[in-house]
Structure 1
Amino acid sequence: MASRRARLFTLCFALIVLFNLIWFHDKLLSWAVQRELFDVSLSLEPDRVHNVEVVVASLSHEDTRWLSIYLPEWKTNIYVADDPNAPLTVPINKGRESMVYLTYIIDHYDQLPNNIIFMHASRFAWHNDDPDYDAIPTLRNLRIPYLQETGYVNLRCVWVIGCPSEIRPVEDEVNKDDTHPMTKDIYKQAFEELLPELPMPAVVAVSCCSQFGVTREAIRHRPKEDYLRFRQWLLDTPLEDGRCGRVFEFAWHIIFGKEGVFCPSAGECYCKVFGICGLNCSDSSCDDRYILPTYSNLPAGWPRIGWSGEARNFTGPLA
């Protein structure tokens, strides 16, 4: 009987030890997996955080605090184009955002980060490619590895406005209205002055509105002297502010090495640039990702209040 009890005790003890070994092994494995994932996140995070800068073209009345509140991990360079005493400003407030972008490139050419996002100052704006016209999801969803792969991405996927064939430089110059020339009417001459080394594209198209990401390598495939020359052209041109800014709006993608027509299908763009895949798309748009508003000014109270004063079910953050 004693021998049987001893064997039973030994068996129970062995089972307890085995149970604890299994429990400890599972814990150890779980900890190892979590640690591996943590290490991977650490290895990826510096590439996204420390090598991305945002360049913002703003005016003195615009509130840019949302960038530091919601995107504190990215360094921001906020230029105030109409304030000569601002910490970051431009030689003259001309050419809309293009003067800011060129000034940043010129001043930082030798110390550029890996990835630069060029954008306007407003969080909510009619041209932001988001159902709420909100820039925060656009920036948070931006796939930096894809930017690094391709060198340049537009922050707008929908084709309206600018694609698929906004400007036909040769045809438009011939048929221009000399009394009220549009950007397309003067684009050919401006292109020849800015980029004389390139053949004239038959068609120029890119989705509006001069908000994009670009890599250091794409910028540096041109010498710094080119950007100095571009800015001098802005300073010297008799074209008014909006017109010369629009010339650059339809030239940035070409400056950074893309073809005259840069209009990837909307579905491909949303998936590759922002990781939003599986949408129901035509070439030019996807589901209700973007609806061109009737007016360029969003209504007071947006995004909580809609165009007719109705309450909107906005679920994003608001400070």
Structure 2
Amino acid sequence: MVRIIVVFLGLSAIVVSLRTSFQSQHIVMPAGQGKGGPSKTFVVASLEKEDISWLHQYLPEWDISRYVADDPSANLTVPKNKGQEAMTYLTYMIDSYDNLPDVMVFMHNGRYQWHNDDPLYDAVPVLRNLQLPYLISQQYTNLRCVWTLGCPAELEFNKSPENVDASKTTEIAYPEAFRELFPGQSVPPTVGVACCAQFAVTREKIRERPVDHYKRYRQWLLDTPLDDYVSGRILEYSWHIIFGKPPIHCPNTKECYCKVFGQCDLECEGGECGNHWPFPPFSTLPYGWPTVGWDGETRSDEVLAGLRKNATATSPITGVGSKASVIP
């Protein structure tokens, strides 16, 4: 009887382990333990239909906390699918406040996205190149160095009424939202930070604020009549302020690429480094990207490697493309 019970318990443990691995739920290691270095977690905002297997394949040394915003039955989910990635980020900070890893990267789910700071918009080299000692020393770091979109001034509030662009709904809504998110603080005249709500932050930096602050930010998201896009954008241009940076936070581009990604030989000017991040013609990448280009053309690994190499030039280059060979 004792042997039967032991075998049953052993099988149960295996089943639980397999289920946990399959569902990609997070397991937070104690700080600085378990992997010979700082504990580190990707906090991923996703929907049920989306695939994050690429993270397991290319960055297996990281823990993953995947939140599924549109599945209330998921092991990791959010109170309401609102505010884009901000709801996931805040929910993680609240849920894990007492058991945070050393460093976290808050990110979107897709490998290829137009805003990834890479010549092919590929998140794999972006994440593989992260210089953890520097990230930890800075405590908060945006994962974009290029200034295009967000820097040096994305939101400006000192305009006369006749000069306010009615189409800029985030800019119009931001001052009132700022007063609710940061009571007692004056609304800055200008806010600038590189888009697009992907960043690294340390446990110490998150804990500089009590957990009640993050609960207040999330409650604002839940209560605001602003739509999903605008409310998410307001948080997108508030994270750097939440984590102690000035309203305009636009680090020198060349220094940023060197210190954040170890790419120290780029030629940069005016917030850009050649064609390292080419401005995309559309916000949706073609199906089959990057082996399928913007015009539907098929591109070989050799072509993609060439585009990456040419992307370090200081003058605009046709196509897209970093010096590392393409990652399949």
Q: Which residue of 1 aligns with 2:83?
A: 95
Offset from partner CA, 1:137-180 (integer Å, 9 cap, x none): 010001111111111111111111111111123438785466x5
Q: Which moved more, 1:306-315 or 1:149-158?
A: 306-315
Q: Greater shift after overlay, 78-87 or 230-239?
A: 78-87
Would the alpha carbon gap of residues 213 and 138 (structure 1) be closer, same or farther in structure 2, given more than 3 Å must change?
same
Normalising by structure 1, report the TM-score.
Answer: 0.82
Q: How does 1:1-319 map to 2 (within 5 A)?
A: 46-48=36-38, 51-171=39-159, 176=164, 182-312=169-299, 313-314=303-304, 315-318=325-328
Structure 1 unpaired stretches of 5+: 1-42
- The secondary structure found in structure 2 opposite 1:204 is strand
Residues 13-56 of structure 1: per-residue CA shift (max 9 Å, x gap)? xxxxxxxxxxxxxxxxxxxxxxxxxxxxxx996224xx110000
SS in 2 for 1:46: coil
Cα 1:301–1:177, aligned 2, differ >3 Å: closer, same or farther?
Answer: closer
TM-score, normalised relative to structure 2: 0.80
The 3-state SS of whatever aligns with 1:116 is strand
| Superposition CA RMSD, Å | 2.0
Would you say how many aligned residue pairs link Structure 1 and Structure 2?
274
Shift of 1:200: 2.1
Letter in 1 for 2:243: F
Alpha carbons of structure 1 residues 148 and 173: separation in structure 2 relative to 1, 3 Å:
farther
Deviations 1:221-244 (A, max 9, x none): 110000000000000000000000
Q: Distance in 1 between matches of 2:231 and 2:161?
A: 16
Q: Distance in 2 between matches of 1:257 and 1:162?
A: 18
Cα distance, 1:240–1:172 mapped onto 2, change above 3 Å: farther
Shift of 1:196: 1.5
List gaps (5 residues or longer) in structure 2.
1-32, 305-324
Structure 2 CA distance, aligned partners of 1:286 and 1:177? 30
CA contact (8 A) 1:265 1:283 kept: no
Which residue of 2 is the match for residue 18 of structure 1? none
Q: 1:75 to 1:172 in 2, by over 3 A?
A: farther
Whole-angstrom CA distance in 2 between matches of 1:243 and 1:90: 18
Task: Give the Å deviation of 1:66.
Answer: 0.5
